[in-house]
């Protein structure tokens, strides 16, 4: 009887761990697929997005804009504050 209970407990714990790992993996995949994209035809390189980014993911200099996806938290503050509405959150396919 004790063996049956032990095996059942191990199975329940294993299922719980597998479910938690699967959820974590899905969450990571969903996050990795979104990224900030800039329409450079609209951008005036004012640097407002860089200023608002608390994660220091955006770098703006003369006619250069880049976003480090590994630092970006997808908070969309940069998108909200861009005066030219040139930023958007898109699927970057990774
Ligand atoms: S806030 Fe908008 S216009 Fe200004 S640098 Fe950033 S993306 Fe370009
Ligand atoms: S979405 Fe947030 S973290 Fe990502 S670049 Fe914009 S302000 Fe920075």
- Cα of 18 to ligand 2 centre, how many Å? 32
* CA-proximal residue: ligand 1, atom 2 (nearest): 82
**68-90: pLDDT as tens digits:** 999 999 999 999 999 999 999 99
Long-range (24+ apart) CB contacts under 8 A made by 84-89 are 84/42, 84/43, 84/44, 84/46, 85/42, 86/38, 86/39, 86/40, 86/41, 86/42, 86/43, 87/36, 87/37, 87/38, 87/39, 87/49, 88/36, 88/37, 88/39, 89/34, 89/35, 89/36, 89/37
Q: What is the pLDDT at residue 13?
A: 82
Q: What is the pLDDT at residue 23?
A: 76
Q: What is the pLDDT at residue 15?
A: 84
Q: What is the mean pLDDT of residues 18-44?
A: 82
pLDDT band at 32 (very low <50, low <70, confident <90, very high): low
Ligand at minimal distance from the CA of 35 is 2
Please determine, for residue 56, whether its predicted confidence score (pLDDT) is greater than 90. yes
Q: What is the pLDDT at residue 2?
A: 73
User: Using a 6 Å CB cutoff, which residues line ligand 1?
Assistant: 38, 43-49, 60, 65, 82-84, 86-87
* CA-proximal residue: ligand 1, atom 5 (nearest): 45
């Amino acid at each position: 009887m004790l063996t049956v209970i032990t095996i059942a407990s191990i199975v329940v714990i294993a299922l719980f761990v597998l479910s938690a790992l699967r959820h974590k993996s899905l969450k990571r995949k969903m996050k990795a697929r979104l990224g900030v994209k800039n329409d450079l035809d609209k951008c005036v390189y004012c640097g407002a997005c860089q200023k608002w980014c608390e994660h220091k993911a955006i770098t703006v200099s003369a006619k250069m804009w880049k976003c480090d996806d590994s630092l970006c938290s997808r908070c969309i503050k940069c998108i909200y504050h861009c005066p030219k509405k040139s930023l958007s959150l898109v699927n970057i396919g990774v």
